Amino acid sequence: MKTLLPLIALAIPASVTAQTGTFVLPQGVEKFQRTENDQSYLGRGGSSYNGSTVYVPMHIQNTFPMAEVPVTAAKVLGIAMRRNNYYGNAMYASATDLTVHMSTAAGAADQASSTFASNEGTNRAQVWGTGGSTATLNWPAAPYVNNGQQPLPFVLKIPFSNPFVLIASSGKSICIDYYITKRTSPYQSGPNTYEANLFLDATGTVYGNRTENGGYQSACKFSDGTGQGGIGYTRGGLTENGGAWYVNYTVPLNTIGVATISGYGVNTPNNPFNNPIDLTAFGAPGCKWMVGLETGFWVALKTTNYTSNASANWPQLQIPAGLKPGTEFFDQGLFIDTKANKLGLIPSWSSTWTIEKYYQPLVSTVYKHQDTTPPSTTGSVRRNFAVITEFTY
């Protein structure tokens, strides 16, 4: 195969090599914005933050299925990523010293080996940097865009210094191999400079989705001065297959509460409850009720105390199988705090829960952090997970 590929490349018609087009792998994910981001791998910051681990040098491979490539032959001119717009954190300008190699291989992309070399083909070629040496890649800042969590353009580009000839018949998978020796993505907070992570958009196994229902109510506070706390939850049952679902709310110690679910939320069309309902007139200024009250379904929350706060936990419920993808429901808790306001109640943060079609992308990520000389031959494998990548040809 190694000796035949140059001849095959010469046989590619000029009309194929001259065209300009793009495709995205895994196929179809460019249309959606999910919660997955790759800051633990390709986007990890390059230096210590408040004593945290220094991750460079880093070796990362993403493998993608050749069967999802929409062309039979192409000269790949570069690849690009985008930031994950689910997170509101700013993504700062960065400079990364790295090499990038690309190849096609016989193995299935979702079955990548922990041995880096096993995922590469004999046509392995350096596409960023030359002669095995790194080159500096400068990416612009990619700030959060408040657009309803819609996906962003692929503006984080790696233009290949050496185009890669991609032949669909040359293997079952595409392997992109990154070796990062240095990264700086600094931001300032007061007199100090810190390193920021890059929230690159990634794909993983798709379960149901959680989004905001009405947003965080910063003026709605418990009597100890704390606001609506964080939440914990599971999404595994939020597919057409059904399964377990629960949510818990962070609250002050010893807080007692109940919670409900509804088919109506803040943005639900034809909502007879006209949510959100401002509770100021009822004696709870700054607080809002975000969900409908049609079900009459209320559960008592079990409070578990920790050192400085508590977790108010739903019992685990079973989502029935057969729900149509796109089906939504909404939750909200209500907590007793007689000293907080005249009403004596504080509502929780509210969420929109969406049933989605179960999906496993046929991809893998192989990674090794602190990959010092001599580089490790093996790394850790995360199957069905990879950075969403746009290919330009």
Nearest-angstrom CA–CA distance, 60 and 51: 23
Nearest by Cα to 61 from 3, 122, 105, 2: 105
Residue 45 amino acid letter: G
Nearest by Cα to 25 from 59, 86, 76: 76
Q: What is the pLDDT along the chain (393 residues), one digit of tens a residue?
A: 343 444 444 444 444 445 589 999 999 998 888 888 998 889 887 765 444 567 889 999 999 999 999 999 999 999 999 999 888 888 999 999 999 999 999 999 999 999 999 999 999 999 999 999 999 999 999 999 988 788 999 999 999 999 999 999 999 999 999 999 999 888 888 888 778 889 999 999 988 989 899 999 999 999 999 998 899 999 999 999 999 999 999 999 999 999 999 999 998 999 999 999 999 999 999 999 999 999 889 999 999 999 999 999 999 999 999 999 999 999 999 999 999 999 999 999 999 999 999 999 999 999 999 898 789 999 999 999 999 999 999
Task: List alpha helices for the chain, DSSP H.
Answer: 4-11, 14-18
**175 sits in which H/E element:** strand 173-184
pTM attached to this predicted model = 0.75
Per-residue pLDDT at 48:
53
CB atoms within 10 A of CB 285: 15
Tokens of 207: 């379960």
Nearest-angstrom CA–CA distance, 71 and 391: 11
Per-residue pLDDT at 361:
96
Nearest by Cα to 207 from 62, 353, 317: 353
User: Would you say the C-alpha torsion 120, 124, 125, 130 has a positive or negative sign?
Assistant: positive
Per-residue pLDDT at 195:
80
